[in-house]
Amino acid sequence: MQPVRCGGHPNSTIRLSNYRGAQSMVTGSRQKDFRIQRVVQALTEDPSRTLPELALSCQISISRLIHLFKNEVGINLKNYRLDCRLQLAAAMLVSTTMPIKAVAYTAGYHHPSSFMRAFRTHFGVSPTDYRRGNDNERRSSIR
């Protein structure tokens, strides 16, 4: 499966394979904080993880985690997490026939309406239109 950008950061990609078994690559010239690498990996494997869960796994406060993440990765942790969730959802919409409600829950949303609003804001189209558009592209490439 093609790498999918997660978090919008040029040094962060995820390879979606069965969605939960994704791998992360965060590269750079300076030593990386292992706690932040752990957070990136955790979000890659399960973008529905919450900030309190991530902070607890690193044994630091949420505010400290947010600060370290911004310094280490270069973007806001909440935006990175949102992007990971929506990239996962987009990949699922294209590669599965799961109902949109199930995709929303799998991506960590408790309410499909919240998912649909976030998806439309991020991609500029509804999840249904995104799926339809990618189905049309696949069909035209087969011909």
Q: Over 81-131, what HEC string results?
A: HHHHHHHHHHHHHHHCCCCHHHHHHHCCCCCHHHHHHHHHHHHCCCHHHHH
Distances (CA, A) of 105 to 16, 35, 68, 98, 116: 17, 27, 29, 11, 11
- pLDDT given at position 10: 43
Please state the pTM of the whole predicted model: 0.72
- pLDDT given at position 134: 80
Residue 88 token pair: 């996962």
Q: Does position 7 have pLDDT exceeding 80, yes or no? A: no
- pLDDT given at position 22: 33
In angstroms, the CA 22 to CA 65 distance is: 22
- Confirm if 3 and 19 have CB atoms less than 8 A apart: no
Q: Does position 72 have pLDDT exceeding 90, yes or no? A: yes
- pLDDT given at position 32: 81
Structure confidence by residue, pLDDT tens digits, 15-52: 443 333 333 434 444 678 899 999 999 999 999 899 99
Residue 5 token pair: 């950008």
- pLDDT given at position 141: 54
**Dihedral in degrees, nearest 10, Cα atoms 11, 115, 68, 57:** -110
Q: Which residue bears the tokens 């919240």?
A: 114
